[in-house]
Structure 1
């Protein structure tokens, strides 16, 4: 058992008199003891557990200045103002100050007037700043949001890589690294990148017991938007945050909520800086209870009354989800974290990932454009490169290229960012300049293998997030295991899998029926395809094979040679999703694995595929009979087609209209309907009248309904 920390009375006195606390929070005392003993320390503590006290209190007891590296300039002033109110000498240096004011504050630090100095990592680009700090006694080098230094983390920022050199320049002061989101791998990388191999680690745990985690599996925006409305209607107090993967999704959600009378702010990188700041200020001040945002929003947002965080799309990684969802319940009171998941989200994240890792030829093209513009001006706005590059190049491509070139040392950003999210979602107005003498694009020394390795790593993390969404066990256990923490309880009592209470989405049994003959054929083809893929592929690949996809990963693989390749070409993807959902629910198909979910047949599915067993499926109601003109088809090839109207991810349902037919009784049509009824009855092993009686068929041949609503008016339907 680890002995309890033994802190001197002076520490307890400072805790009470300067910071207004009677007791330390869990983990704080041990960390502060290690710092006061002179150890380098890495601490991983949950959001809201009091990380800042771990360097603010020791700063008052150390001889010299504590240099705090914080990625969020926007909050520096608030933090410093709070310390000044407590009688603690603190200041900050950032781009909001004039050059003279910056020099004055640095001189004051050198003179010993301040115990804490807050700066952004970008400040270490300045030789003048480094020179000033070299003349200052830095007692503690505190790195906040330390996961930003790791390229394996979810929020890597190249400027953090300057910190190891800065530590060496300052004659190796004591180092404290703090983060709330770091896997064991990222922790190792933090230690390595800071150059402090003998760091003591304090991992206080990742559990946020007041948060309830839920995942709702839905069919795209058409199903997600109404569900989002239900979730928001259930929030009677506090504030809510909705995260979406793209700017477009943010705008669409805002439009939907506006039309239903829900007031909401929006926040994304496509807005001007002033617009984003106004939105954040209004949300923080409580002027509006709801904000819809991309991941550009959030770092440094410490609003205590956030009762609900909804992710409209799948986040890219578990770290990102933990941090964003963790903005709920900062006051320690119960809060909800809801993920609206659909498989379309996976494709969105794969697309965004592809955009983040441009091909070498594009990188060379963008760099060549930078060199061309640099002949006329030193500072280059990224937007100036758009006309010089290939058509269709997106802002995201430009920023991705700029990031890679910056990391490789070929360019540097001119401005010091005001927020970490500005760096993460820079706009084409970002100013850059060449950091080295220009080389030809072909001479760029970019490690393609390392880039591919990182891309695969990001893809792996995204799949771990999919595994969380598909998990059948406790979601808290799944999340904590990702961060290397073992959950010892049988149930957490605060996730949908443990509660099984169906909050927001009561689990009503879906209406089931026997498939029609036409549907049986489709079902057999789907099951045959899954059988031939031998349980080695997931839902997306199964659908691609059925549709005869021309994607390179299909046509250049053995999947192209399967007999089921293209067997349902022309069928809508959404309709295949409906059939797959029904087969999974009926246990004909089961999902194997969480992280890399694959589809395989059960014994029931094999029997159904061979028509050895009948099964009720949750399929949409039969919508219409579409008769084919006898004059255009021979009797041998004529059959009645039953058209289903599934619930698909579309905001407006598609209505299938049958060809116009005379309102008078059509004897030929009646006979064809009887023939089709016999076929269906034979397939179902039922008497014909159990399908439809003659009165129903005559009415169909008289009315010839063309819509689902019209068909429902037929006797016996």
Structure 2
């Protein structure tokens, strides 16, 4: 038994965090770290990664050092821990000299359980000297995928974190992330010097998230987004991702004009505006952030009910990480996406123009192809998604668009040949819009000047709409029949794979291009998991939480998650002992907040008697 153990992990889980038992590999991870061995933990967002280092930090004498990539993330995690009665602090650039000096004094005195530090500050000489003089029980590296150049969120400052093993050879280190394929896992271990680490890989499945992916129709993506939010997530928190800063600002302004609380967030905005947007998103209910991928890593807000994409992400890892910000509390949430052919062209051009090594460019291209494959798949989305991470699911999930509304397929052999032939006969240098004009027999000056109105393919596709032709071209590109000129103006060229199709040696079935079926409910101001009869108490509990959070200057979810409120809604405790049985209620929160919530619940209990 480690002589530094001062309390059992299960006792801490029960009394501090208010949970009855560990989930998945949590207990084994904690035992590994407490025995002095390093660990790499892959666990989905909302799966309880933080407990894997927070519990041993409290169970062992000394202070745990947590490397966190974002100031906002570490501040929120510290706020949440303090609400649970844990002595936690951070060191970052937002503090005054006096505030930072107080934290250093607490660390030297051994009164801190956890100290959160950014990677840049951690490895400067002053901080290293401070840590050498302190009693450190473990080092946790959160968002560890940031160390990998093969990952989706590489941060150069993470590279030096491998030096920690040299500076603190006897201190166990635990690296944690929600997303890393096999290549990224190996680079994390290599870069951080975790040569003898145990690797824990939990299921990547997020069964509470419903996936919807559909293709853009002319001018409909923005309107479809508004319908989706109004019909399914009125007054609920959400994130909308766009590819460009300009698009972010346009969509945020338009949603605001429609009466929604929508705020723009991207790296080009002033730091004060970004900070204000983040604080409103964390502190208020029903705020929608429209953002580039600059927003979101490490966001701890548990009650994000939807994540929407108006453009195709560049990889499945990025998609999984971004959609994983929905439903961290385990309650129902949705991942909704609309994308189009232009997304593919734009992403490939961005990759072509990047300064990355050719090897990295090839990896990025493979990742984009996999993302396209997920988007165009007619199979269960969850099975495809999990399969990418090496996890096999034997049964369809029943909770994605392809399961709920199976896509229709059609024999597209003839129009596909017509499309390929048009690419060939026009010289393999024109973009999709021009090729569709030729196929549909549009007469304009450019087509006439080039003589393409005399081609045998001119007008052969007049029976199909522009949307259908765009869908055909998109799927031909996704399946490797056509390539896109990423260095020019998006011209299409034939790939070797198209030869058998053109020669009539194979047929081709494609997803039928139809307008997406609207999956919605009657607009209402409460979530799906609360019934009409329960809505009054639900709102009363939320109001109580909001009042307490405002008084303390913290986000509401640091008081209690929605999952805890839902447990109160169903259990309706009338005593402090019964209140302790609510999920997420530890001893400190029982003593601090129990009376306030019991007073809210009591009138509703009397009504039912």
TM-score normalized by the length of structure 1:
0.59
Change (3 A) 1:289 1:8: same
Q: Aligned residue pairs: how many?
A: 474
Q: Distance in 2 between matches of 1:618 and 1:62?
A: 59
Q: Residue in 1 aligned with 2:325?
A: 327
- Structure 1 segments unaligned to the other structure (5+ residues): 1-6, 359-450, 511-519, 549-562, 610-616, 620-717
- 1:173 Cα offset (Å): 1.7
**1:196-207 map, 5 Å:** 196-207=194-205
Helix, strand or coil at the partner of 2:106: helix
Would you say the 8 A contact 2:436–2:469 is kept in 1?
no
Q: Residue in 2 aligned with 1:495?
A: 400
Helix, strand or coil at the partner of 2:308: strand
Q: Residue in 1 aligned with 2:224?
A: 227
- The structure that has the greater radius of gyration is 1
Q: Residue in 2 aligned with 1:267?
A: 265
Q: Residue in 1 aligned with 2:386?
A: 480
TM-score normalized by the length of structure 2:
0.69
Change (3 A) 1:603 1:456: closer
Q: Distance in 2 between matches of 1:618 and 1:317?
A: 24
Change (3 A) 1:532 1:499: farther
Q: Distance in 1 between matches of 2:26 and 2:451?
A: 61
- 1:55 Cα offset (Å): 0.7
Change (3 A) 1:76 1:579: closer
Q: Distance in 1 between matches of 2:311 and 2:477?
A: 21
Q: Residue in 2 aligned with 1:372?
A: none
Change (3 A) 1:306 1:111: closer
Q: Residue in 2 aligned with 1:158?
A: 156
Change (3 A) 1:259 1:34: same
- 1:286 Cα offset (Å): 2.7
- 1:157 Cα offset (Å): 0.6
Q: Residue in 1 aligned with 2:345?
A: 347
Deviates more, 1:236-245 or 1:157-166: 236-245
**1:467 and 2:373 correspond:** yes
- 1:283 Cα offset (Å): 2.3
- 1:66 Cα offset (Å): 1.2
Q: Residue in 2 aligned with 1:122?
A: 120
Q: Distance in 2 between matches of 1:111 and 1:463?
A: 53
Change (3 A) 1:52 1:564: farther
**1:626-645 map, 5 Å:** none
The CA deviation string for residues 536-562 of structure 1, in whole angstroms up to 9 with x for no partner, is x9x9878788999xxxxxxxxxxxxxx
Change (3 A) 1:547 1:29: same
Change (3 A) 1:235 1:289: farther
Q: Residue in 2 aligned with 1:457?
A: 363
The CA deviation string for residues 190-209 of structure 1, in whole angstroms up to 9 with x for no partner, is 11111111111111111000
Would you say the 8 A contact 2:41–2:201 is kept in 1?
yes
The CA deviation string for residues 404-459 of structure 1, in whole angstroms up to 9 with x for no partner, is xxxxxxxxxxxxxxxxxxxxxxxxxxxxxxxxxxxxxxxxxxxxxxx221122222
Deviates more, 1:205-214 or 1:302-311: 302-311
Q: Distance in 1 between matches of 2:50 and 2:417?
A: 61
Q: Distance in 1 between matches of 2:104 and 2:454?
A: 72
Would you say the 8 A contact 2:238–2:305 is kept in 1?
yes
Which of 292, 296, 314 is the aligned partner of 2:294?
296
Q: Distance in 2 between matches of 1:271 and 1:480?
A: 36
Q: Distance in 2 between matches of 1:523 and 1:32?
A: 56
**1:31 and 2:36 correspond:** no
Helix, strand or coil at the partner of 2:151: coil
Helix, strand or coil at the partner of 1:18: helix
Which of 88, 91, 95 is the aligned partner of 2:89?
91
- 1:566 Cα offset (Å): 11
- 1:246 Cα offset (Å): 0.6
Q: Distance in 1 between matches of 2:365 and 2:454?
A: 30
Would you say the 8 A contact 1:235–1:307 is kept in 2?
no
- 1:83 Cα offset (Å): 2.5
Q: Distance in 1 between matches of 2:480 and 2:83?
A: 52
Q: Distance in 2 between matches of 1:8 and 1:597?
A: 63
Q: Residue in 1 aligned with 2:557?
A: none
The CA deviation string for residues 639-679 of structure 1, in whole angstroms up to 9 with x for no partner, is xxxxxxxxxxxxxxxxxxxxxxxxxxxxxxxxxxxxxxxxx
- 1:59 Cα offset (Å): 1.2
Which of 12, 15, 28 is the aligned partner of 1:14?
12
Q: Distance in 2 between matches of 1:114 and 1:101?
A: 14
Q: Distance in 2 between matches of 1:303 and 1:20?
A: 19
Q: Distance in 2 between matches of 1:143 and 1:268?
A: 25
Q: Residue in 1 aligned with 2:106?
A: 108
**1:170-209 map, 5 Å:** 170-209=168-207
Q: Residue in 1 aligned with 2:527?
A: none
Q: Distance in 2 between matches of 1:336 and 1:481?
A: 20
- Structure 2 segments unaligned to the other structure (5+ residues): 439-449, 483-496, 515-609
- 1:343 Cα offset (Å): 0.9
Would you say the 8 A contact 1:545–1:566 is kept in 2?
no
Helix, strand or coil at the partner of 2:66: strand
Which of 468, 475, 479 is the aligned partner of 1:581?
468
Would you say the 8 A contact 1:257–1:264 is kept in 2?
yes
- 1:348 Cα offset (Å): 2.0
The CA deviation string for residues 503-545 of structure 1, in whole angstroms up to 9 with x for no partner, is xxxx9x99xxxxxxxxx9x999645346889xxx9x9878788
Q: Distance in 1 between matches of 2:289 and 2:353?
A: 26
The CA deviation string for residues 139-194 of structure 1, in whole angstroms up to 9 with x for no partner, is 21110001011111111111111111133122342110111111121111111111
- 1:74 Cα offset (Å): 1.5
Would you say the 8 A contact 1:80–1:92 is kept in 2?
yes
Would you say the 8 A contact 1:70–1:120 is kept in 2?
yes
Q: Distance in 1 between matches of 2:498 and 2:50?
A: 50
Q: Provide the alpha-carbon RMSD of the alignment.
A: 4.1
Deviates more, 1:96-105 or 1:176-185: 96-105
Quick one: higher RCO (CA 8 Å, sep 6+), 1 or 2? 2
